A = this chain, B = another copy of it.
Amino acid sequence: MVPPKTIPQYRRLYEILRKHISDGVYTEGDLLPSENELCQLYGMTRPTVRQSLSTLANDGYIRKHQGKGSIVHNLPREIGILSVSGTTSAVGDRKLKTSIIIKPVLMKWPDDFMFPLTELEKESGCIYMERVRFLDDVPIFYDISFIANINLPRITARQFENKSLFRILRDYYHIEIKGGDQRIKAIPATSKISRFLHLKKEQPVLHLERKLETNNPGIFLYSSIFCNTEKYSIFGRF
* Residues of chain B with a CB closer than 8 A to A179's CB: 63, 237-238
Chain B contacts for A33, CB-based, 8 A = none
Residues in B whose Cβ lies below 8 Å from that of A80: 183
* Nearest 4 Cβ contacts at the A-B interface: A85-B85, A204-B204, A186-B186, A183-B233
Please report which residues of chain A, range 199-236, place their CB below 8 angstroms from some CB of chain B when the two chains form the complex.
202-207, 209, 213, 217, 227, 229, 233-236
Q: Which range holds the interface residue count of chain A?
A: 35 or more
Chain B residue with the shortest CB-CB distance to A177: B238
A102 at the interface (CB under 8 A from B): no
Say how many copies of this protein the assembly contains: 2
A206-B207 Cα distance, complex, nearest whole Å: 10
Choose among A179, A181, A236 the residue with the greatest number of B CB atoms under 10 Å from its CB: A236
State the Cβ distance, A106 to closest chain B Cβ, in Å. 28
Instruction: Mark A residues whose CB is within 8 Å of B.
Output: 47, 58, 60, 63, 65, 75, 80, 83-88, 179-188, 202-207, 209, 213, 217, 227, 229, 233-238
CB distance from A131 to the nearest CB of B (A): 20
Give the distance in Å from the alpha carbon of A85 to the alpha carbon of B180 in the complex: 12
The reply to whether B85 and A183 contact each other, CB–CB distance below 8 Å, is no
Q: Which listed residue, B183, B203, B237, touches A235 by the CB 8 Å rule? A: B183
Chain B residue with minimal CB distance to A184? B234
Is there contact, CB below 8 Å, between A180 and B63?
no
Closest to A178 in B: B63
Residue in A63, A80, A86, A204 with the greatest tally of chain B CB atoms within 10 Å: A204
A66 closest partner in B (C-beta) = B215
Q: A203-B188, A205-B204 are in contact. Are A238 and B183 (CB under 8 A)?
A: no
